[in-house]
Amino acid sequence: MPEETTKPVQDQEEPRVGVYICTCGGNIGDVVQCQQVATALGKLPNVVTSHSAMFMCSDPGQKLIIDDIKENGVNRVVVGACSIFLHEQTFRRAVSSAGLNPYLYYHVGLREQVSWVHHDCPSEATNKAMRLMAAGIAKARHMQPLEPVSLTAAKHALVIGGGVAGLRAALDLARTGLQVTLVEKSHFLGGHMSQWEHLFPTKEDARTLLNSLIQRVLAEPNITLHTGAEVVASKGYVGNFQITIRQQPRGVRPEFAAVKAAIAACPVEVTDEFNFGLSQRKAIYRPYAGCVPESPVVDWGNCTRCGACLKFASDGGIQLDETPHEFAVNVGAVVIATGFRPYEPFPGEMGWGKFPEVITLPQLERLLAPDGPTGGALKWNGHPIQNVAMIHCVGSRQIEGIHQAQPDDKVNDYCSRVCCTATLSAACRLREKYPGSHVFDVYEDIRTYGRGHEEYYREAGKNRVTFLRYFAEEIPQVAQAPAGSAHPLLVKVKDHLTWGEEIELPVDLVVLAVGMMPNPVEDLIEIFKVAPGSDRFLLEVHPKLRPVETAMTGIVLAGTAQGPMNIQESIAAAGAAAAKVAILLGQGRVELEPYVARVDPTRCQGTGECVKCCPQEAIHLESYTENGRTCQRAVVTPANCNGCGVCVSVCPNRALDVQGWRLDEYAAMVEAITAELPALEGQYA
DSSP string computed for 170-207:
HHHHHHTT-EEEEEESSSSS-GGGGG-SB-TTT--BHH
Domain coordinates of the chain in residue numbers?
4-147+665-680, 156-247+325-339+522-586, 259-312, 343-517, 597-658
- The pLDDT, as a whole number, for residue 201 is 76
DSSP at 680: G
> Within a 10 A sphere around the Cβ of 213, how many other Cβ atoms?
18
Could you tell me which of 21, 23, 127, 262 has the C-alpha nearest to residue 676? 127
Q: How confident is the model at residue 86 (pLDDT cuts 50, 70, 90)?
A: confident
485 close to 506: Cβ distance less than 8 angstroms: yes
Per residue in 162-171, pLDDT (tens digit) is 999 999 999 9
Per residue in 212-268, pLDDT (tens digit) is 999 999 999 999 999 999 999 999 999 999 999 999 999 999 888 898 999 999 999
Cα–Cα distance, 234 to 252 (Å, whole number): 30
Check whether 12 has a pLDDT greater than 70.
Answer: no
CA distances from 414 to 362, 451, 522 (A): 19, 21, 20
Mean pLDDT of the chain: 93
CA distances from 398 to 79, 442, 521, 560, 564 (A): 45, 16, 23, 20, 15
Residue type, 90: T
Class of domain 4-147+665-680: alpha beta
Compute φ and ψ for 340, nearest 5 degrees.
Answer: -135, 175
Within this chain, domains 156-247+325-339+522-586 and 343-517 share the same CATH topology: yes
How deeply is 302 buried, as exposed, middle or buried, from its count of CB atoms within 10 A (0-12, 13-18, 19+)? middle
- The pLDDT, as a whole number, for residue 5 is 44
Q: Average pLDDT of 446-467?
A: 92
Q: How confident is the model at residue 112 (pLDDT cuts 50, 70, 90)?
A: very high
Q: Which of 198-207, 209-218, 524-533 has the lowest mean pLDDT?
A: 198-207
Give the chain's count of helices (H) and strands (E): 16, 35
Q: Which of 95-104, 251-260, 410-419 has the lowest mean pLDDT?
A: 251-260
Cα–Cα distance, 616 to 577 (Å, whole number): 23
Per DSSP, the three-state class of 321 is coil
* CATH number of the structural domain 343-517: 3.50.50.60
> Within a 10 A sphere around the Cβ of 669, how many other Cβ atoms?
21
- Residue 526's region, left for phi above 0, alpha for psi from -120 to 50, else beta, is alpha
Report yes or no on whether pTM surpasses 0.85.
Answer: yes
> Within a 10 A sphere around the Cβ of 209, how many other Cβ atoms?
15
- The pLDDT, as a whole number, for residue 23 is 96
Check whether 452 has a pLDDT greater than 90.
Answer: no
Check whether 381 has a pLDDT greater than 50.
Answer: yes
Q: How confident is the model at residue 316 (pLDDT cuts 50, 70, 90)?
A: confident
Which one of 1.20.58.410, 3.30.70.20, 3.40.50.150, 2.60.40.60 gives the CATH number of domain 597-658? 3.30.70.20
228 vs 380, more confident: 228
CA distances from 323 to 45, 300, 326, 475 (A): 72, 10, 10, 49
Q: Average pLDDT of 354-366?
A: 96
Task: Evaluate the CA torsion angle 394, 395, 399, 403 in order and state its sign.
Answer: positive
CATH architecture assignment, domain 156-247+325-339+522-586: 3-Layer(bba) Sandwich (3.50)
110 close to 32: Cβ distance less than 8 angstroms: yes
Per DSSP, the three-state class of 384 is strand
> Within a 10 A sphere around the Cβ of 306, how many other Cβ atoms?
13
